[in-house]
Amino acid sequence: MTKNILNEKYNLLKPHKTNNLVRIGRNMVGGYIVDLNILERTNTLMTLGFGPEWSFELDYLKMKKGSNLIIYDHNLSSVPYIKQVAKYLRRFLTFRIPYKILKLRLDSYKKYKNFFKLKNVKLHKKKITFPQKNKNETDLNSAIKELDNDNKIFLKIDIQCCEYEIANQIAENSEKINMIVIVFYWINKNEKKFMDSIKKLLDKFKIVHIHANNFHSKLTNGLPKMLEVTFLNSKLIKENIGHVKDFPIDDLDYPCDPRREDISFSFK
């Protein structure tokens, strides 16, 4: 197999090596790579874009007892869970599945509803973007101002291209942000925005991990169209022990879509 070596212009994405990387969340879409030592130095996970898969948030709260989870998602709804329950209820009533299959969907819906009843989970049904145009929108500066001054933030961002619009505000709030996981969407349509955003973030943060989302393909130059990138605050990285050049990493990275091969790439 020909090795997919990225153009030198993408070398700024080359992650700094750290020996503390672990996976949080499941071994497919929804799981991300974090630095365990820096994770311990956070007390608030701010999730921008929650979605139907929340194993990452659940793992964080289990690992960080007494921490807080702040969620911003204007589209959050129980409807997908209700549709699943209704679908499998029909199958059960027509004797096509046993009750235990239906119960799995009922339990999933119950866990979802109970999750938002936890005292340390707070949901804001607002979209994070910049600039604000509608009543159901806010920006990152406003969201962070609502937190106490002693919050040490871990940002998880999955907001379908709005990540490019808030890159400046992430950098502006670097004193309060210890770690970030960002899903960068549709790089094929937003390559300049993507590169500009990375450069802004690298003023205050360093990349320590990168992974391709294999639900989407690659650009003609080999760069994946969708990337999951983990950043650490530069002030918390005490030494430079080199860079990692080849991805994915065995026993750490897993395909977002397990039915497809993961996307491999290397830096020069």
Whether the pLDDT of residue 150 is over 90: the answer is: no
Which residue would you say has higher pLDDT here, 150 or 163? Answer: 163
State mean pLDDT over 25-31: 94
Find how far residue 200's CA is from the centre of its chain.
Answer: 19
Looking at the chain, the whole-number percentage of residues with pLDDT higher than 70 is: 99
User: DSSP strand E in the chain: where?
Assistant: 21-24, 32-35, 44-48, 68-72, 121-124, 127-128, 137-138, 153-157, 177-184, 205-212, 227-233, 246-247, 265-266
Q: What is the pLDDT of residue 137?
A: 95
The correct answer on CATH 2.60.40 for the domain covering 8-76+128-266 is: no
State mean pLDDT over 17-38: 95
149 — pLDDT class (breaks 50, 70, 90):
confident
Residues of the chain with CATH 3.40.50: 8-76+128-266
Q: What is the pLDDT of residue 221?
A: 87
Summarize pLDDT for 170-227 with one digit per residue, the tens.
999 999 999 999 999 999 999 999 999 999 999 999 999 999 999 999 888 889 999 9
> Any residues with CB less than 8 A from the CB of 165 and at least 6 apart, and which?
129, 130
* b/e 147-164 (16+ beta carbons within 10 angstroms → b): eeeebbbbbbbbbeebbb
Q: What is the pLDDT of residue 77?
A: 87
Whether the pLDDT of residue 238 is over 90: the answer is: no
State mean pLDDT over 104-133: 93
Q: What is the pLDDT of residue 251?
A: 94
Whether the pLDDT of residue 52 is over 80: the answer is: no
